[in-house]
Amino acid sequence: MPPAYVKPYVKRHKNDAADAEAICEAVTRANMRFVATKTPEQQSCLTLHRARHLLMRQQTSVINAIRSHLAEFGIVAPVGRNGVEQLLGVVADSNDKRLPEVARACVAALGAQLRVLKVQILEFDRMIRAWHRSSEASMRLDQVPGVGPVLATALVASVADPKAFRSGRDFSAWIGLVPKQNSSGGKERLGNISKRGDRYLRSLFTTGALAVIRYAKIHGTRHRPWLPHCWPGARRRLPRLRSPTSSPGWPGR
């Protein structure tokens, strides 16, 4: 059981006896939700994703450190991967006198660490693709628009039992993609998304959805006629490309 669902049953002070009593009380509730046990394969894939995510955060931190240190000496480069390579080229050039030797040695060490992180991330990407090809469920999820090997494998590894969700909206609520409610007196008040659940999965779903929208802006909604109904303002933002069977007035419909 999630600890947050047991907490309301704890009476007064927190101790082992009160916690045990609260667990016994919560487990008898008919509407209590339980956490399914993951298989060793799912847990290993989830470990792979967590390690890759950690290395990517470290890579971003190292890149920001390189840019900030060199900016103190007036050495800047455009945003993006090529800009970092330009900065490392300046560090490697011993004839460039804008950078003192002590600072050059420190930034060079950061550059070496950045290269090691990139190699490790690429290796983890290969392992994710291999796990993806070996999983039938992951290959089926890969057919969904906006879902790639990273999201498909993370989804298969995170959800131990898909039958625990009665509908797609229940799953959306589980990862925090539904509006947060503050309703009272029969009047519904819906705010922003609740952002509860797995932040990593939620970020992957958001990235995939943005990729679908970005594709639709360029190529239209002919192959995905459902997209304009899910995106406010799409009528005037998406290009008006219609299929031969579409009705007039709405692109791709």
Per-residue model confidence (pLDDT) at position 253? 34
CB-CB contact of 175 with 198 (8 Å): yes
> Considering only 46-55, 63-72, 242-251, which range has the smallest mean pLDDT?
242-251
At 246 the pLDDT is 40
Element (H, E) at 169: helix 168-174
Chain mean pLDDT for the chain = 85
User: Between these two residues, 238 and 189, which has the higher pLDDT value?
Assistant: 189
Q: Which amino acid is at 207?
A: T
Beta strands 179-181 and 190-193, pairing class = antiparallel
> Is the distance from CB of 103 to CB of 69 less than 8 angstroms?
yes
Confidence of residue 187 (pLDDT cuts 50, 70, 90): confident
Q: What pTM, to 2 d.p., does this model score? A: 0.78
CB 63 within 8 A of CB 84: yes
245 confidence band (pLDDT: 50, 70, 90): very low
Q: Tokens 């930034």 label which residue?
A: 107
* Burial of 49: CB neighbours in 10 Å, binned 0-12, 13-18, 19+: buried
DSSP code of 191?
Answer: E
Mean local confidence (pLDDT), 51-63: 96
Instruction: Give 201's Cβ-side CA count (13 Å radius).
Output: 20
Report whether pLDDT(80) > 60: yes
User: Exposed (0-12), middle (13-18) or buried (19+): which is 190, by Cβ within 10 Å?
Assistant: exposed
